Amino acid sequence: MNNPTAKALEIRGLTKAYPLPGGRTVAAVRDFSLRIEPGEFVTLLGPSGCGKTTVLRTLAGLEEPDAGEILLEGRSIATLPPHRRRIGLVFQNYALFPHMTVFENVAYSFRIRRTPEAAVRQEVAAALKAVGLDEMGGRLPGQLSGGQQQRVALARAFVMKPDLLLFDEPLSSLDAKLRVQVRGELRRLQKRLGTTALYVTHDQVEAMSLSDRIAVMRDGQVAQIGTPEEVYSRPASLFVADFVGRVNALHGRVVSHSNGYATVDVLNHRIDVPMSHVVGTELLILARPEAVQLRKAAGDGPVGVVEELEYCGDEIAYRVRVGTVLVVAVESALRRTWNIAQGDCVGLHLMQKALHVLPADVQAPMSEREIPSDDSTSMEAA
């Protein structure tokens, strides 16, 4: 729904450093700037320690910035105390009062403002109905499931009709199936109410499914901001490409160019890319695993050996050794047509329309050993 009262958020040059022993400091956020349009849902996505939670806490008034401006619809709120910012905050651990009923948890903000009882009952009932808990107002939080508790936290944030909603990894403690269900409910509720929202997570699937735009953060700054499709299909750097999904990062070198196209040598095979470069220019060719197709019979493309197969339920991942480079390809498990086994010699076809080209000096590619093995979003980069 289009909310005519929704507010735009603008952050300009936000900087926050924390003291270290010995009089030193570490910058958690450095000259951070971002604009969120009225009613827009934007996600801050990045690894632990990138500064995303610091940005959130600064907006909520829980941290004082060292520099920068925070504007809601053009009005500075940086010096206002938290209770005067009209911001709703949904925590990772719900932060519900265990001794209070669901109704009283949602009504808490009204109680401390001494709102008339009739208004409290009307507003809380509407909020609980919006999150599908209108029949559970008399229960205690301990009598609810994790997903229901999260919806209580959402109702408590929405009930005060805030100018801005902040979400601090609110789904991280839910199991995988419930996380999918609750994030769908959260997105539908935010769209229906039209409240401007900023969401913090390190889960790229969560960010993709929820967001109008994603701001990928690294070292306290924005590495790239765009729609989920832009960030996934046209990453600004290898860091972004590797963090937002899986990627094969392949070295290429321009061998010729004409009519706006460059012919690039990749894996000892030549492909054309729609850009002009000087002969000899080193490039980085980014290929998502779904942009790599395998064939049992070698064609005119690169040839490799299947080192490993991984069954993932909805897809099958193949790790193929092409010389010294490891390339990953995937196919649908339900539409399995390649009929390829471990040890097979296969031909590789790179879907040129799905490739993304970066200058080699934008960011040096990570080797297979340098990518964290415990990060589910990482992928082999060659």
In a domain, 155, yes or no: yes
Give the DSSP H/E element, type plus range, for residue 179: helix 176-193
Closest CA relative to residue 301, chosen from 291, 313, 310 = 291
- What would the pLDDT profile of 229-284 be if each residue is shown by its tens digit? 999 999 999 999 999 999 999 999 999 988 888 899 999 889 888 877 788 889 99
pLDDT band at 362 (very low <50, low <70, confident <90, very high): low
Least confident among 123-132, 297-306, 349-358: 297-306
Q: Strand 41-45 relative to strand 213-218: parallel, antiparallel, unpaired? A: parallel
User: Hunting for tokens 């109905």 — which residue is that?
Assistant: 129
Strands (E), the chain: 9-19, 25-36, 41-45, 67-72, 75-76, 87-90, 164-168, 196-201, 213-218, 221-226, 248-258, 261-266, 269-273, 282-287, 292-295, 303-311, 315-322, 325-332, 345-350, 356-359
Least confident among 71-80, 130-139, 321-330: 130-139
- Segment 200-204 shows an average pLDDT of 93
State the helix-helix crossing angle for 146-158 and 102-112, rounded to 10 degrees. 20
How far apart are the C-alpha atoms of 24 and 382, rounded to whole Å? Answer: 38
Do 59 and 193 lie in a common domain?
Answer: yes
Do 216 and 264 lie in a common domain?
Answer: no
Residue 181: predicted pLDDT: 80
Do 196 and 250 lie in a common domain?
Answer: no
CB neighbourhood size of 336 (10 A) = 11
In a domain, 3, yes or no: no
Give the list of residues 6+ apart from residue 21 with CB closer than 8 angstroms, or none: none
Do 44 and 143 lie in a common domain?
Answer: yes
Task: Classify residue 267 by its DSSP letter.
Answer: T
pLDDT band at 350 (very low <50, low <70, confident <90, very high): very high
pLDDT band at 203 (very low <50, low <70, confident <90, very high): very high
- Segment 6-15 shows an average pLDDT of 95
Domain boundary residue, one of 193, 213, 238: 238
pLDDT at 101 over 90: yes
In a domain, 2, yes or no: no
How far apart are the C-alpha atoms of 290 and 275, rounded to whole Å? Answer: 23
Domain boundary residue, one of 238, 262, 294: 238
pLDDT band at 183 (very low <50, low <70, confident <90, very high): confident
In a domain, 89, yes or no: yes
Give the list of residues 6+ apart from residue 258 with CB closer than 8 angstroms, or none: none
Residue 56: predicted pLDDT: 95
Average pLDDT, the chain: 88
Residue 315 vs residues 310, 337, 349, 352, 373: alpha-carbon distances, Å: 9, 12, 18, 22, 20
Task: Classify residue 23 by its DSSP letter.
Answer: G
- Segment 58-76 shows an average pLDDT of 95
Q: What percent of the chain clears pLDDT 90, i.e. is strictly above it?
A: 62
- Segment 27-53 shows an average pLDDT of 95
CB 247 within 8 A of CB 279: no
The CATH number that applies at residue 184 is: 3.40.50.300
Do 100 and 208 lie in a common domain?
Answer: yes
Residue 371: predicted pLDDT: 31
Name the domain count of the chain. 2
Do 133 and 243 lie in a common domain?
Answer: no
Residue 34: predicted pLDDT: 97
Do 71 and 100 lie in a common domain?
Answer: yes
How far apart are the C-alpha atoms of 270 and 180, rounded to whole Å? Answer: 42
In a domain, 45, yes or no: yes
The DSSP string of 284-299 is: EEEE-GGGEEEESS--
Do 51 and 172 lie in a common domain?
Answer: yes
Do 104 and 217 lie in a common domain?
Answer: yes
pLDDT at 335 over 70: yes
Do 366 and 251 lie in a common domain?
Answer: yes
Do 196 and 256 lie in a common domain?
Answer: no
Domain containing 133: what range? Answer: 9-238
pLDDT band at 9 (very low <50, low <70, confident <90, very high): very high
Domain boundary residue, one of 210, 238, 266: 238
pLDDT band at 2 (very low <50, low <70, confident <90, very high): low
Amino acid at 352: Q
pLDDT at 77 over 70: yes
In a domain, 379, yes or no: no
User: Hunting for tokens 């900087």 — which residue is that?
Assistant: 15
Do 183 and 285 lie in a common domain?
Answer: no
In a domain, 76, yes or no: yes
**Angle value at C-alpha 44, between 15 and 240, nearest 5 degrees:** 100
Least confident among 19-33, 269-283, 329-343, 363-377: 363-377
The CATH number that applies at residue 243 is: 2.40.50.140
In a domain, 24, yes or no: yes
